[in-house]
Amino acid sequence: MSSESKPVRSEEDVQFAHIKFSTQIIKRLGEELNPSFDQSILELVKNSYDADALKCTVVLKNVTELGGSIEVEDTGDGMDGNGIRNGWLVLGQSHKSLQKLSRLERISAGSKGLGRLAALRMGNMASVTSIPYIDPLSKYSLVIDWDVFDNAALVEEVQLPINHTSPEKNEKVGTKIVISGLRQSISERDVKKIARGLILLSDPFDDDPKAFKPTLKAPEFKQLEVLVAKRYFDDADYHLVASINNLGQAEAKILDYRGEVLFSADHVDIIGKDKAKIYHCPATEFNLWAFLLNATTFSTRSTTIGEVREWLNEFGGVHLYENGLRVNPYGNSGNDWLDLNLSRARSPEERPSTNTSIGKVTVKDSKGLLSQKTDRSGFIENEVFHQIKLFCYDALEWMAKKRIEQAEIRRQKERVASGTISQVKKEDVKKLISELPVETRVSFEKTFKAYEKSQEKVVKNLKSEVQLYRTLSTAGITAATFSHESSGNPIKIITITISSLEKRIKNKLGSDFDEVFAKPISMIRNAIESLAVLGTTTLKLLAHDKRRPVKLDVHKVIHDIVDTFDPFLKGRNINLQLELADGNPFLRGTEASVESVITNLLNNSIVALERSPVGQRIIKIRTTVSATSMEILVSDNGPGIKDINIRDIWLPGQSTNPNGTGLGLTIVRDAVIDLGGESSAQVTSELGGAEISIKLPILGIA
């Protein structure tokens, strides 16, 4: 057929289509984007902030039961029909990139409406009533019945009429949202989280009269509001004030509790040797208040340690604010996003922890460079976010350095003063002896010289022990750093790479793979597991919660340690046998103490077995329990205790292992004493190697 004979289609043949959404999408988005009650309510409150409200009140009615309601009412600019239709009801459209300042010069929180949807879906019904600032004689209202949506096939099938009426006399400009027929009840714990979230939402530590002030009509809110208003900042021993300007240049200073500047730093001081570095992020401020929570510090103050601890327990941590509003979850309990506790574990001296400090990072006018995750669980961790964290890390390191320098100067003065005082006292004693009668002077001089000699020996031993602990501290810090770094990318990369190699080799060799490469690859995997155990074990031992006295299930601790060590033991062909008594004996103590005992005894047996020629390597952990005590026996089939007196194995620095520290059993002894128990050793056991016995008092058996 020629081209001339082909039919020509008219414009009437062109058809258009649109993407349509099932109402199930609305339901799923509402359920999956609703991480918690407090975050859902905060999304509605943030809408009030965007509307230039100075006040926003949240009322919870009968929420402890199903079918309760939540009311969120503000004094903002409100919305007309067009605002509801083309703004409030539009999902997925962000105004953040426009970065337009509001009437009160606020930058939009930038919600895409998805968080609002999650909040509105908490109930069976949702309504909005709004009186606009530009037309205060008009009131616009809308009701959403979610049952109607759920019964419809497509979203566009559901009509939502917007009513236009006149406001009542007592109604003012602003917006009120009511969510009724709650699908879940809200517990008292959730109410407290809502109260805390509202208090912290708009920097409660600032005194700006134009600041946004959300409130919750609940006793929990009043209690926390009173607590946050106390502001114990004046009791902080150190206040770090650091900032980045729009050019990426940083500066910082440290103030004492009187507000006087102790140290100050320019950009080069903070970044250190890399003098060309700048921070590629928006202008940022970082404030951290660090407290010395001890009796000596608070002896001259009007507040008590208990009051400050309670305040820090509720509001401590480093909170992150963007354009005036707090970003969740930074600063929440358990969210140590600046690794304060890890840094303190690596180098404990003069560093704050999440329990002894409170801080805030304030990012101004981020110009859309920072974006929150859709589920509002923090920022998408792009390069800008990492630059802000890097700045905070650098500022904290500079602060730690200056405080350590100050502490070292203080210690040097104390050493000099101590030596001087000691020498003066020594001369005073000699003078008194010289004034004694001749017949008694000789005897006293002889006794005093013997005393001097013994003291010199004590000092020498103490210096040697201090040096040993310093060496071990360095090793521990290095191990903690190695564990933290290796447990992340390196081990993952090795694991992924070996899997990739295995797949490629199998494709090349086929059936020959098992004969040639299966065993070496299996050995590499076992080595990776052993390496991972070393890393996770070290980091677990550093956990702060494990150093708190609690009611402790000893058998559970033993099982947890054995599970952790399992890949490591298999890699060394060690058979660990558990013979635990019936029941679960428990005591009052710290998990760290019991872990230290079991871990060090296991390590000792592992080292002993590595030096043993035996084919099958065995470690046995056996427990026996009475009404008031329990005994833990750890034995192995190694060479036993040789080349050292059994009484000396508990002394620091005493070891028959050329690469050993000689501190493992010292730690065991001291930890057992702290737990109120006693330890002993046998040169040989029924397995042939050494046996260590630990006896601990218990509270009972579960």
Can you tell me the distance from the alpha carbon of 46 to that of 119, in angstroms, rounded to the nearest whole number? 12
Q: Which of 153-162, 208-217, 271-280, 505-514 has the highest mean pLDDT?
A: 153-162
Distance CA(345)–CA(543), nearest Å, equals 9
- How many CB atoms sit inside 10 A of residue 255's CB? 18
Q: How far is it, in rounded angstroms, from Cα 276 to Cα 636?
A: 58
Token pair listed for 426: 């020594």
Confidence of residue 110 (pLDDT cuts 50, 70, 90): low
Calpha distance 435→471 (Å, rounded): 47
What pLDDT was estimated at residue 563? Answer: 85
Q: What is the 8-class DSSP label of residue 233?
A: G
Beta carbons of 383 and 260 less than 8 angstroms apart = no
> For residue 416, is pLDDT > 60?
yes
- Residue 341 CA to residue 355 CA, distance in Å, equals 9
Between CA 431 and CA 442 the distance in angstroms is 13
pLDDT averaged over the chain? 82
**Cis amide bond preceding 437, omega within 30:** no
Torsion of CA 334, 340, 341, 347, to 10 degrees: 180
144, 30 Cβ separation under 8 angstroms? no
pLDDT at position 414: 67
DSSP state of 96: G
Kindly list the distances between the CA atom of residue 587 and the CA atoms of 425, 584, 675, in Å, as whole numbers in the listed order. Answer: 47, 10, 9
- Most confidently modeled range among 171-180, 193-202, 371-380: 171-180
Other CB atoms within 10 A of residue 636 CB:
29
Instruction: Give the Cα separation of 401 and 413 in Å (integer).
Output: 19
The token duo for 629 is: 């005590």
Q: How many CB atoms lie within 10 A of CB 508?
A: 10
The Cα-based distances of 363 to 212, 231, 278, 322, 602 in angstroms read 17, 22, 16, 5, 49
Q: How many CB atoms lie within 10 A of CB 470?
A: 10
Beta-strand relationship, 163-165 and 238-244? unpaired
Q: Average of pLDDT values for 648-658?
A: 66
Least reliable range by pLDDT among 272-276, 314-318, 535-539: 535-539
- Cβ-count burial 58-90 (b if 16+ within 10 Å, e if not): bbbeebeeeebbbbbbbbbbbbbbebbeeebbe
In DSSP notation, 486-537 reads HTTHHHHHHHHHHHHHHHHHHHHHGGGHHHHTHHHHHHHHHHHHHHHHHHHH
Cα separations (Å) of 14 from 4, 6, 18, 19? Answer: 22, 17, 14, 17
Residues 6+ apart with CB under 8 A from 651: 662, 666
Could you tell me what percentage of the chain is helix, strand and coil, using 3-state DSSP and rounding each to the nearest 5? 45, 20, 35
User: Which residues lie across from 681 on neighbouring strands?
Assistant: 692
Render pLDDT for 3-46 as a digit per residue (tens, 0 to 9): 455 555 555 678 788 788 888 887 777 666 666 788 889 989 99
pLDDT at 569 over 50: yes
Dihedral angle computed from the Cα positions of residues 407, 409, 410 and 411, in that order, rounded to the nearest 10 degrees:
90
Residue 664 has a pLDDT of: 75
Q: What is the distance between the alpha carbons of residues 483 and 335, in angstroms, rounded to a whole number?
A: 20
Query: Mean pLDDT over residues 404-413, rounded?
Result: 75
Taking alpha carbons only, the member of 613, 597, 537 closest to residue 569 is 537
**Could you report how far apart the first and last alpha carbons of the chain are, in Å?**
93
Which tops the pLDDT comparison, 659 or 616? Answer: 616
pLDDT of residue 97: 45
Name the amino acid, one letter, at 367.
K
Structure tokens that stand for 341 in this block? 């506790």
In this predicted structure, the answer to whether residue 66 has a pLDDT above a threshold of 80 is yes
Using the predicted structure, report yes or no on whether residue 686 has a pLDDT greater than 50: yes
What mean pLDDT comes out for the span 281-308?
Answer: 89
Separation between Cα atoms, residue 69 and residue 269, nearest integer Å: 55
Q: Can you tell me the distance from the alpha carbon of 530 to that of 574, in angstroms, rounded to the nearest whole number?
A: 13
Per-residue pLDDT band for 614 (boundaries 50, 70, 90) equals: low
pLDDT of residue 692: 92
Return the structure tokens found at 440.
């008694």
In this predicted structure, the answer to whether residue 323 has a pLDDT above a threshold of 90 is: no
Residue of 124, 76, 69, 115 whose CA lies nearest to 94: 115
> For residue 96, what pLDDT band results from cuts at 50, 70 and 90?
very low
Q: What is the pLDDT of residues 295-305, one digit of tens each?
A: 888 888 888 89
Coil, helix or strand at residue 222: helix
| pLDDT for the residue numbered 1 | 47
Mean pLDDT, range 547-557, rounded to an integer: 83
Residue 165 has pLDDT above 90, yes or no: yes
Question: Which neighbouring-strand residues pair with 71?
Answer: 59, 178
Average of per-residue pLDDT across 537-557: 70
What pLDDT, on the 0 to 100 scale, is given for residue 263? Answer: 93
Q: What string of DSSP letters covers 15-32?
A: -------BHHHHHHHHHH
Contact 279, 248 (CB under 8 A): yes
Label each residue of 143-208 as H, E or C. EEEHHHHHHCCEHHHCCCCCEEECCCCCCCCEEEEEEEEECCCCCHHHHHHHHHHHHHHCCCCCCC
Q: Which of 115-124, 149-158, 655-664, 691-700 has the lowest mean pLDDT?
A: 655-664
Output the pLDDT for position 579.
94
Domains annotated for the chain, with CATH where assigned, are 23-97+106-225 (3.30.565.10), 231-400 (no CATH), 546-701 (3.30.565.10)
Mean pLDDT of 131-140: 96
Digit-coded pLDDT (tens) for 226-240: 888 888 888 899 999
Read off the tokens for 191. 């109410």
Q: Residue 482 has what pLDDT?
A: 54
How open is the CA angle 178-123-150, to the nearest 5 degrees? 120
Q: Which range has the worst mean pLDDT, 231-245, 306-320, 384-398, 415-429?
A: 415-429
Are 649 and 656 a contacting pair, CB within 8 Å? no
Residues 450/454/459/461 CA torsion (nearest 10 deg): 150
By CB atoms closer than 10 A (0-12, 13-18, 19+), residue 454 is exposed
199 and 226 in contact (C-beta within 8 Å)? no
Residue 142 binned pLDDT confidence (cut-offs 50, 70, 90): very high
Band of the pLDDT at 210, cuts 50, 70, 90?
confident
Among 134-143, 384-393, 643-652, 691-700, the least confident range = 643-652
Which of 13, 71, 18 has the alpha carbon at shortest distance from 41? 71
Of 213-217, 399-403, 483-487, 502-506, minimum mean pLDDT range: 483-487
Which residues have a Cβ under 8 Å from the Cβ of 525 and sit 6 or more positions away? Answer: 495, 498
CA atoms within 13 A on the CB side of 96: 19
